[in-house]
Structure formats: structure tokens, C-alpha cells
Amino acid sequence: MIQLIERAKSFTNREALVSNGSSYTYGQLLESAHRVATNLLDGRGHLGEARITFLVPPSFEYTAVQWGIWMAGGIAVPLCVLHPLPSIQYVLEDTQPEMVIAHPDYIDFLSPLEKQIGVSLVALESIFQNRSTTLPDVRMEQRAMILYTSGTTSKPKGVVTTHANIQAQITTLVTAWEWQQDDYILNILPLHHVHGIINVMSCALWSGACCEFLPKFEAESVWNVIISGRLTLFMAVPTIYHKLIAFWDNASEMAQEEMSGAASQLRLMVSGSAALPIPVLEKWLKITGQTLLERYGMTEIGMGLSNSYRGERRPGHVGLPLPGVEMRMVDSKDKIVGENEAGAFQIKGPSVFKEYWQKPEATKKAFTKDGWFITGDIGMLNNGLYKILGRDSVDIIKSGGYKISALEIEDVLRKHPMVQDSAVVGLPDEEWGEVVSACLVTKGEAIDTKKISEWLKEQLPGYKIPRNYIVRKTLPRNVLGKVTKNELKKMF
């Protein structure tokens, strides 16, 4: 029995979703999901964990398709509407789905893959045909979803979660962030990722709250929704906050007052999926009175740590483990490290994924012998709260015997009056192992990198000063706004 769907039966008359200008109740969502499940089963008793992929924009239909797949006993594999065809082909070849459900806008886009790799393309409207049947009993231990890692360091892997994993990921956030029936949230995040699916949509639907979809991000549209006063929570990635701040900066004084006043009324605003630059946090606090809550999570674990809803939210930190999440920090020999010592984050608990899809060796390597998931992130406990120093593979630069956090250098660079944004990587070097190298996005003027280095020497030890600089108009990012550091390395 899928508790997320069972709970919806007690909210049937409440508003569940707002999508494309229409409002839908929990009852309508359940009815549509039942139709989807019936059409997917097509006379069978159970989908038996068949993979069903779907390319549907964020909407009521998206949610009904996802729930329908689950109600029929299938594995939901959402595809990203922003991904190019080769990325989608990779997921289809990897999961070997029974079918690909496609929104009318994407039929032509996907049709070359029908012949090329032999997938069955099914039009969205056909699975909403009015049919009904008795639905199977779906166990919590069944595989429910495959989401693909962002692939910033290697080919994406399919992360398999069960219904029990998903429930644990939802309930820990509902508890920690005190979700209520009367909450209302705007979803502007891609729905092929844990941030949009779990943190926003599923937490709202578990709670009897309302989730409104905005299919395409536009700063003005988001500010208009905030000004409407209907939101109680807002969650986004750092690049979105950056764009909202830029829009606010360019508005009239009267409009600024209206935006700031409305934003100050929300009970919670969260930032995640990438490190939040401290200048963005400070500017958001200044214009809205809201201290953004930072949290730490991964596709494989849902959310693991969070700053406090009611207590301290310390800039540059990700708080403490969420309810039900066990965490330890270890050195390279899996020995526990002490406070203010750098260590690798390892996580245990019911929210941790089941496996990488059809990759038993990669799954085995992802866990210690005693069952801890190896996150690949390095951090430290700093005065009672955890902070992330970076990913072992891309954000920790090993130079001249030192382990250097790229994120720390990026934060300092962003404080320079001429630097709008920065990203730091380690480039291979015979003498040093790696050398610190920085890409700068400037505030319009030409920049003297020698002067930047001199300025940095007043704030950082010499071994952390970049040896190489490049200046670009933008940083390479994936759809969640995370800097793709392997792409960045190629630019040097």
C-alpha cells in the first residue's frame, strides 16, 4: 500500500495542484491516476516493476502519470524536458522501458528513437482514456522510481528507489520543515530530479497542501506569484535566487517595496542542489528579511542534512542530520574524524536508495562493508553544524600535499567588487599534482587577474591562490544550475 496515495483519499475535496491555469483537487488527481493505471495494465494484474518512461512538462498530467505508474506496480522513469535527444536516448537504452509516454509537444522530438532503438511511443491522451479496473496491491519494498544522477563527473547512473525509500525521504522533510495542510508552494524545478519531485511536489501532496506548477522559469512570473500572497513556502536553486535578485535590482523603488514585503511573509524559503554563495544569501536576507535555509542532499539519499527550521541557519553550513538519517564523517581509512577535521560524509537510513540500475559493481562500490553509503562529499563539523567543503572528485583539489576546497576559494572570489561569479577547479600538473585554476564572471569591466591574486593573498594562504585564470560571460551549468566542472576544465 503506497501511503502517499492512500493519504490523498482523506483530502479528496482539497486543492492539490494548480497547473496551466486550472485547479485540481486530490479527488481529481486520484481519479486520473486510476485511469492511467488501468490503461497501463491493459488487462494485466500487475506491471511487475516494468519501467515506464514519460516526457511530460511539470503539470497535473505529470503527477497523474507518475501516480498511475505507481498504482499499477510499475517503475516511474521521468525524462527531462530540457535534455537533448542523445541524453534521453541514453536513459531509454539503459532502462529498456515498456513504453515512453509523451506529451503532444514532444512526439515529433522523440519519434526518431522509435525506429532507432525500438521503443514504443505512446501519446499522453491515450493513457487518460476513461477505463477502470481493480488495481494491484503494491508493496512498499517494490522499486518505484529511477532518477539519473546529474553526471557531472561520469556517465549518469540510474538511482533506484523503492516506495519505502521515497516515503522516508518525504516524511523526514515533512517533520523537519513542519509541513501543514494549509501550505502552498510554487514548483519551478525540473521534475526529473529529487528536489522538484520529493522536496516540493511530494511533500506538499503528503501533507494535503497545494503545489502550483510554473512550467517555465521567468523572474517576473515568480515575483508575481510571491506578490499574490498565496505562497507559504518557496524552494529553488542558487541561480534562481540570483536571477530574482537581479530582477529586484532593476525594478522601481515602489515595485521593490511590494516584492520585499510579499517575500517577507512566507514561512520558509529553501535553497539547494548547489552550494549557495554567501553574497546571494546576504543580499536575499537584505531585500526580503528571509534567511534562506540550506540543506544537503543527493539523488541517492534524498535529503540528508538541513539547517534548522526554527533555530540557527548559519551561512555556508548545511546544519545537522534530518530525522531518521544517520551520518558519520571518516578519513581515508574509514576512521571517524573529530570536530573541525575534514572528513568524508557517509549516510545510512531508510531514505538511502536500493541500487544503481543494472550496475551491481557500482552499487557495491558505493557502500562500505558495514552498509554506509559513500557520498563522495567532503565536509567538517564546525562549531556544532556541518559544512560542505566539496565533492572529493571535483571540488577537492590535491595540490602540493594539501587538500584544498574549491568552494572556499569560490566564496572568497565572489566577495571581490568586480567578480559576479566564480568557479574553481584543479588542473593536472607534474610538479604539484593539481594547480588551482579559476574561471571568473566579471561585472562588466575588464579585470586584472594579477591584482585579483594580490587581493586574495590578504585573505587566503598562498597555496590556495589560483595559478590560472580565465574570464567568461557565464559558467557552464546543468539544468539544476550546478556548475559542470569537467566542462569547465576543458575551457582552460
In a domain, 485, yes or no: yes
Is the overall model pTM greater than 0.85, yes or no?
yes
Domain count, the chain: 1
Element (H, E) at 282: helix 278-288
- Among candidate residues 220, 146, 216, the one with its CA nearest the CA of residue 188: 216
Burial bucket for residue 337 (CB in 10 Å: 0-12, 13-18, 19+): middle
pLDDT at 3: 97
In three-state secondary structure terms, 197 is helix
Residue ranges making up the domain that contains 406 = 396-491
Residue 215 confidence (pLDDT): 79
272 neighbors 295 (Cβ within 8 angstroms): yes
Collect the ranges in the chain with pLDDT lower than 70. Answer: 150-154, 431
Q: Has residue 141 been placed in a domain?
A: no
Show the cell assigned to 152.
Answer: 557531472
3-state class (DSSP) for residue 149: coil
Residue identified by cell 486520473 is: 32
Start-to-end CA span in the chain (Å): 53
450 within some domain? yes
The pLDDT of residue 320 is 97
**Rounded-to-integer distance, Cα 157 and Cα 154, Å:** 9
Which pLDDT tens digit goes with each residue over 352-373?
999 999 999 999 999 999 999 9
| Alpha carbon 180 to its chain's center | 22
The neighbour count for residue 115, using CB atoms within 10 Å, is: 8
Residue 38 and residue 32 in contact, taking contact as beta carbons nearer than 8 Å: no
Closest CA to 183 of 200, 170, 171, 198: 200
CATH number at residue 453: 3.30.300.30
The per-residue pLDDT for 2 is 96
Cell numbers representing residue 96 in the block: 529498456
How are beta strands 233-236 and 184-187 bridged, if at all? parallel
% helix, strand, coil for the chain, step of 5 = 35, 25, 40
Nearest residue to 36 (alpha-carbon basis) of 10, 1, 62: 62
What φ, ψ does residue 434 adopt, rounded to 5°? Answer: -140, 150
Is position 100 within any domain? no
347, three cell numbers: 549516510
- Residue 311 in any domain: the answer is no
Residue 441: inside a domain? yes
Answer yes or no: is 124 within a domain: no
Predicted local confidence at residue 403, as pLDDT = 74
The residue to which cell 557502500 is assigned = 367
> Do 81 and 57 meet the contact criterion of CB atoms below 8 Å apart?
yes
**For residue 316, is it within any domain?**
no
3 state DSSP class of 52: strand
DSSP of 199-247: IIIIHHHHHT-EEEE-SS--HHHHHHHHHHT--SEEEE-HHHHHHHHHH
